[in-house]
């Protein structure tokens, strides 16, 4: 399925993002030779229609904020296009970019760092008007006072300084400042994450009211899935610089088709006593974008990674084997620390029982059970563990790779049809692969 078809709304879009990339070079030496790249955003595509709110969600470090800054040209994209009202803003010169910034504004995450402490709220709100040469000073101040009332504050707050306002009040002022140039697009980067829950609800309600009144398009960036479900028409799920699933909010929440989306939804707090403490199923941290995993970049943490042909055992067992493989590939195994933990004085004098204790500790560390449900897989794993405790790490790594390599690490999946009306980038939906994804529980 093409990016154009899979990420679009049926309405004529105001914003079209195509294959957007933002890479940061890694250099070393006196000549600053490039030795690698941090792939913060690595080829994302989606549309936003007039009056529509699209959520961009994912864990910290997945590239959401960098994507937002690249879309608004606060950061120059490495590659791709950003079409606003039919024009590619990545080709704009400074004059054209200044004109575009009257049409698109950003609300930042932390209201405390969004304002110059030496400027009053009125001065901060009217600053964009001054930059764009709109009206005399008195008229700009009048507009700022009117906007403060529109966002639920008092016009007299225009004479107050940032330290005199609460976090919620400052975020309302940030919204007023974004609206002052009458934009058609607002990019809201975690606009309520720094606020108390009760204040969050007020700001979100205000944002929706303002959107209805001004017919704004909004790109809403968040890691809070419950907030996203409340305010967004469509949702794009981002992982390590890529969009892995995108669709209408209710469709995506009711029937998620990517394991990462399912894990994010399981992390939503609930009052259901039977659901409390449910593990999201993710292991480890988001990988370093300068060295992403091969194939599907989620396979190193995925709780539903596909098993290789010839083996069939419980998925939890299989994830444990993958944990060991990922650990060995990323940072190896500390055999000396393992030996010391078990109490083995040196390799030569280690008894069979002591080696077994070392192997048992490796299993525990990587969440591998005492016995895999597949006897064939257990035989391979035991041989690899024996190589590890004997310091034959290359042999162990090669054996595990030969026997347990998965399609998830062989090739990168594209966004593909899932039969649900919205696409996902997962090999579980490829032809000939068993479909194991089930709808999420309510």
Tokens for 433, please give them. 């692969």
- At a CB cut-off of 8 Å and minimum separation 6, what does 368 contact? 317, 320, 321, 323, 324, 362, 381
| Residues contacting residue 437 through CB under 8 Å, at least 6 positions apart | 256, 257, 259, 262, 304, 426, 428, 429
Residue 78, number of CB atoms within 10 A of its CB:
17
Q: Are strands 79-84 and 87-88 parallel, antiparallel or unpaired?
A: antiparallel
Whether the Cβ atoms of residue 258 and residue 273 lie closer than 8 Å to each other: no
pLDDT at 95: 94
Domains in the chain, ordered, with CATH?
Answer: 3-264 (3.40.50.300), 315-405 (no CATH)
Report the pLDDT value the prediction gives residue 4, as an integer from 0 to 100: 41
- The pLDDT tens digits along the chain (442 residues) read 334 444 666 678 999 999 999 999 998 888 888 888 999 999 999 999 999 999 999 998 899 999 999 999 999 999 999 999 999 999 999 999 999 999 999 998 887 788 899 999 999 999 999 999 888 999 999 999 999 998 889 999 999 999 999 888 998 899 999 999 999 999 999 888 877 787 888 888 888 888 988 889 999 999 889 999 999 999 999 999 999 999 999 999 999 999 999 999 988 765 554 444 444 567 777 888 998 999 999 999 999 999 988 888 888 899 999 999 999 988 888 988 888 888 887 777 788 888 899 999 999 999 999 999 899 999 999 999 999 999 999 999 999 999 999 999 999 999 999 999 999 999 999 864 544 444 344 4
Using a 10 angstrom Cβ sphere, with 0-12 exposed, 13-18 middle and 19 or more buried, the burial of residue 431 is exposed
75: left (phi over 0), alpha (psi -120 to 50) or beta: beta
| Rounded Cα distance, 417 and 421, in Å | 8
What pLDDT score was predicted for residue 442? 40
Residues near 62 by Cβ (< 8 Å), separated by ≥ 6? 238, 239, 240, 241, 286
């Amino acid at each position: 399925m093409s990016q154009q078809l899979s990420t679009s709304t049926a309405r004529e879009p105001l914003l079209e993002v195509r294959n957007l990339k933002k890479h940061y070079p890694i250099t070393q030496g006196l000549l600053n030779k490039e030795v690698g790249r941090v792939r913060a955003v690595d080829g994302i595509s989606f549309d936003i229609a007039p009056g529509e709110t699209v959520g961009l969600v994912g864990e910290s470090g997945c590239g959401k904020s960098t994507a937002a800054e690249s879309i608004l040209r606060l950061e120059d994209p490495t590659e791709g296009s950003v079409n606003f009202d039919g024009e590619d803003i990545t080709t704009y010169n400074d004059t054209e970019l200044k004109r575009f910034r009257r049409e698109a504004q950003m609300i930042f995450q932390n209201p405390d760092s969004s304002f110059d402490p030496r400027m009053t709220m009125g001065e901060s709100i009217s600053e964009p008007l001054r930059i764009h040469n709109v009206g005399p000073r008195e008229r700009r101040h009048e507009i700022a006072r009117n906007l403060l009332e529109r966002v639920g504050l008092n016009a007299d707050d225009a004479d107050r300084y940032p330290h005199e306002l609460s976090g919620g009040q400052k975020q309302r002022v940030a919204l007023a400042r974004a609206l002052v140039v009458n934009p058609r697009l607002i990019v809201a980067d975690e606009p309520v994450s720094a606020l108390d829950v009760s204040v969050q609800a007020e700001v979100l309600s205000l944002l929706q009211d303002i959107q209805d009144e001004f017919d704004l398009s909004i790109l809403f960036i968040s890691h809070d899935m419950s907030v996203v479900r409340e305010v967004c028409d469509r949702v794009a799920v981002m992982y390590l610089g890529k969009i892995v699933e995108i669709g209408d909010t209710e469709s995506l929440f009711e029937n998620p088709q990517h394991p990462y989306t399912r894990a994010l939804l399981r992390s939503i707090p609930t009052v259901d006593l039977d659901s409390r403490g449910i593990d999201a199923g993710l292991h480890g941290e988001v990988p370093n974008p300068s060295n992403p995993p091969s194939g599907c970049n989620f396979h190193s943490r995925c709780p539903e990674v596909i098993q290789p042909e010839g083996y069939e055992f419980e998925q939890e067992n299989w994830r444990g084997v993958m944990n060991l493989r990922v650990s060995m590939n990323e940072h190896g195994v500390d055999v000396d620390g393992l030996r010391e933990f078990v109490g083995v004085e040196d390799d030569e004098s280690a008894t069979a029982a002591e080696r077994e204790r070392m192997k048992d500790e490796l299993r525990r560390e990587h969440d591998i059970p005492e016995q895999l449900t597949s006897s064939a897989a257990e035989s391979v794993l035991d041989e690899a563990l024996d190589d590890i405790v004997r310091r034959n790490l290359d042999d162990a790594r090669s054996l595990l790779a030969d026997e347990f390599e998965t399609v998830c690490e062989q090739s990168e999946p594209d966004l593909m049809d899932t039969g649900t009306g919205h696409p996902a980038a997962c090999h579980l939906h490829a032809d000939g692969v068993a479909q194991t994804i089930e709808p999420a529980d309510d």
